[in-house]
Amino acid sequence: MAVESQTRKQNQMTAEGKGIVVGELVTITAAVIEIKMEEGRRMCLARFDRNGESVGEWFREDEVIGLGFDDGE
């Protein structure tokens, strides 16, 4: 039981005072800056902040959900 409790603590991350546990669904807010077709699928290049650095990562369109607004560009 103590090992399980310790493991649970190790698997938690703190975000604004709330512990996030393994298996929990989370969101990352990102801006889609490019869309391309690859192997018959739409791919979105999303740019977001990671540890104070702006990074980009490709996602399949069906892996992301639009929030219904854009930055006006």
DSSP-assigned states of every residue in 21-67: -TT-------EEEEEEEETTEEEEEEEEEETTEEEEEEEEGGG----
Model confidence band, residue 48 (pLDDT cutoffs 50, 70, 90) = very high
Distance from the Cα of residue 6 to its chain's centroid: 26
Is the distance from CB of 45 to CB of 35 less than 8 angstroms?
A: yes
d(CA 24, CA 40): 31
In this prediction, residue 7 carries a pLDDT of: 52
The yes-or-no verdict on residue 72 having pLDDT over 80 is: no
The number of domains in the chain is 1
Mean pLDDT of 51-70: 88
Is 9 a member of any domain?
Answer: no
In this prediction, residue 43 carries a pLDDT of: 96
Is the distance from CB of 3 to CB of 18 less than 8 angstroms?
A: no
Is 53 a member of any domain?
Answer: yes
Range of the domain at 60: 25-64
In this prediction, residue 6 carries a pLDDT of: 52
In this prediction, residue 26 carries a pLDDT of: 82
Is 4 a member of any domain?
Answer: no
